[in-house]
A and B are shown apart, each in its own frame.
Chain A
Amino acid sequence: MVTQNAINSFYTVGSNQELTKTLQPAFLAQVIPAELNATGDSTVVEPVVVDSERYDQNADYDGAGTYTAPVGSKALVTVNFNIEGLAAAHDILCSIKNVGIKEYYVMWGTQIGDVADNGGHAAFSPTYVLAFDAADTSDMYINVRGGAKSVDFSVDFSFAITQMQ
């Protein structure tokens, strides 16, 4: 069964009653190639330029780190902060921003020397539900401080939002 208007198919139900919404706002992007020496010396990075889109249904992601809600909605945000080049002296401040509304603190002052593995690599993957008004935006903020500007954003660094309701 397909529910549609003259132009678009909105809902498709498969033979086993799986409902899909292929036009629902949703994107996934990664940092490709890796962004090298982005921070570490208190350099603030916002937005994090996550520039390689894997998909972008409805074209609400600008390909440079910022999502703009097309309508008042709730959306599921998943991030993989995947960072390399960390030293024991570094600590990290990072957040997901519902710009102008709410800042969701992910790490704030965490000693990276305690989080990173011996190769200076750390990854953490929070998920949140963000409430948007139409035209609200969301991006990511990172500031690694206390050491050299040697911190990279790896190719596994990703940013994804799916409009839920």
Chain B
Amino acid sequence: MVTQNCINTYSTYSSTTGEIKPNQPAYGATLTNNALNITGDGTAYTVAGFTEWYDIGSDFASATGIYTAPVDCMFYFSGNFYGNGGLTAAHTKTEIKVVTSNRTYVNNSFSWQFYEKSGFGSYFWTVIADMDAADTATYTYTVYNGTKTVDLFAARTYVQGIFIC
């Protein structure tokens, strides 16, 4: 079965593949360059400068890291922020925020929970956000209580989003 108008195929479904919606908004991107000495002293760093894996709908601005919702929707965001050294015992709190037009979602943790003692390691997070058309979403990364020596490692830092409904 194919559901379409004269221009676009919106949704196809077969007994072997299930439903696919090839034009449904979704994006995935990785940080282009290591971000060095960006936080550690409470500085909220807006994570930007991405290289896209895919961007269906062209709603993700890779340079700024801003996602703009094309329609009213529920949207899934997830990512992995990977520390690349610079974290010390003084850095006792890590905070990741997904800042949307409607509200801000806060993920925080005692830093050692996800980082090993050389300052390497992952911090993964997930949010489902209610968005209105033209609402935006960005990400901030903040490490507290130490010096501004904390990095993000490009190859293992990524963000993703997918339209749910």
Q: Which residues of A contact B (CB under 8 A)?
A: 3, 5, 7-8, 10-11, 21, 23-25, 57-58, 70-74, 76, 91, 102, 104-111, 114-115, 124, 126-129, 131, 163-165
Q: Assuming the A-B contacts A10-B19, A165-B163, are A105 and B78 also in contact, with contact meaning beta carbons closer than 8 angstroms in the complex?
A: no
Q: Which residues of B contact A (CB under 8 A)?
A: 1, 13, 15-22, 24, 26, 28, 53-54, 76, 78, 80, 82, 112-118, 120-122, 124, 126, 156, 158, 160-164
Could you write out 16 A-B pairs with CB less than 8 Å apart? Answer: A10-B13, A23-B18, A25-B18, A58-B17, A71-B16, A72-B22, A73-B18, A74-B24, A91-B116, A102-B53, A111-B116, A114-B116, A115-B114, A127-B78, A129-B28, A163-B19
Q: CA A124 – CA B121 in complex, angstroms?
A: 13
Inter-chain pairs besides A105-B82, A107-B114, A109-B120, 18 sampled, C-beta below 8 Å: A24-B18, A58-B16, A73-B20, A76-B76, A105-B122, A107-B122, A110-B116, A110-B121, A111-B112, A111-B116, A114-B112, A115-B113, A127-B78, A127-B124, A129-B161, A163-B18, A165-B20, A165-B24
A2 CB, min distance to chain B CBs, angstroms: 12
A139 CB, min distance to chain B CBs, angstroms: 18
Q: Which of B26, B113, B122 contacts A129, CB < 8 Å?
A: B26
Interface centre among A71, A72, A131, A165 (most CB of B within 10 A): A165
Q: Are A7 and B15 in contact (CB under 8 A)?
A: yes
**Which residues does chain A contribute within 8 Å of B117, judged by CB atoms?**
111, 114
Q: Are B162 and A106 in contact (CB under 8 A)?
A: no
Q: Are B156 and A129 in contact (CB under 8 A)?
A: no
